[in-house]
Structure 1
Amino acid sequence: MNFRKRVGVEQIGLQLAPMIDVILFLLSFFLLTWNLARYEADLEVKIPKAKNGELPKRLPGEVIINITKDGQVNLNHRVVSAKELEEIIKGVIQQYPDQAIIIRADEETSYKEVIKVLDVCRAVNAWNIAFATNRPDMTSSQ
């Protein structure tokens, strides 16, 4: 008599459900971080420090204008002329009249360059304008 049981050999299979869960989790993570990274400001611009500044509530769709120390105006990580900037802001303001416009000027930027951007904003009746600053205790630029 043979009392030994025969053990069936199971084939090793790939479990798809956990793999799909992990892939969807990673996809959602990267989509969320990409969306936040779109609003990330130009890292070459070193903004000035202010003791009494307030931390803003970040809103989706903010228009962030970066002005480098040599007066170059960047919008959405590309250089724009004053005419292009006016057309873009005009289109945004027509659709969203209360849209926030944040000006991030380098601490070494000429005052004349900041006034040029303010003049463009005023020409299209943009009124919700803010200037980005850092707190003195913060080391990285925002």
Structure 2
Amino acid sequence: MKFHNRQAPPAGFQLAPMIDVVFLLLIFFIVTYQLSDYETELDVSVPTAEEGSTKTRSYLEEVVNVRSDGTIIMERQSYTLEQLYQKMKRLAAVNADQPIRIRGDAETQYQDIVDVIDHCRKGGIRNISFATQKKKSEQTQGQ
């Protein structure tokens, strides 16, 4: 009796779907990078510090900008303290460890920053950080 050795043809590597996936990932990262810069308020001059540095944003981090006159800006919209509290409450309901970065202007009164922190904590936010930058002389020496 003669047996036939039937083997399947060797599987080929499909390159077109791989290229599609790579392009989709590239587009995703470009779009999310653009959105992360969208939240920084240009009218806020962040204070300097000896140990200040520009940290990369953590995943899902929200930025709260406090202008020198005490105006609270988040996602390019102005918020009252009560609206900020409601927003923080919603964010904390979705993510218990929601990171918040406060970008206070160097000329902002300390009480305005404390009010923002207080309303964030009332809303259930515990992961709060502050934005600072290195002093100008250190920035130019490093470049």
Q: Please say whether Structure 1 and Structure 2 have the same fold, judged by a TM-score greater than 0.5.
A: yes
Larger Rg: 1
The residue aligned with 1:46 is 45
List 4+ stretches of structure 1 deviating above 4 A.
Answer: 27-31
- Output the CA distance in 2 between the equivalents of 1:89 and 1:37: 23
Aligned-residue RMSD, C-alpha: 2.2
- Output the CA distance in 1 between the equivalents of 2:105 and 2:32: 25
Q: Offset of 1:30 from its aligned partner?
A: 6.4
Q: Which structure dedicates a bigger proportion of its chain to strand?
A: 2
Secondary structure in 2 aligned to 1:83?
A: helix
- Output the CA distance in 2 between the equivalents of 1:29 and 1:138: 31
Question: 5+ unaligned residues in a row in structure 1: which ranges?
Answer: 1-20
Q: Which amino acid aligns with 1:115?
A: V
Residue 36 of structure 1 pairs with residue 37 of structure 2: no
State the percentage of identical aligned residues.
Answer: 29
Matches within 5 A, 1:113-128: 113-128=112-127
TM-score, structure 2 normalization: 0.70
Question: 5+ unaligned residues in a row in structure 2: which ranges?
Answer: 1-18
Q: Which structure dedicates a bigger proportion of its chain to helix?
A: 2
Q: Offset of 1:81 from its aligned partner?
A: 1.1
1:5-42 deviation line (CA, Å, top 9, x unaligned): xxxxxxxxxxxxxxxx9xxx6x9766543422222211
- Output the CA distance in 1 between the equivalents of 2:115 and 2:34: 27
Aligned residue pair count: 116
Greater shift, 56-65 or 127-136, is seen at 56-65
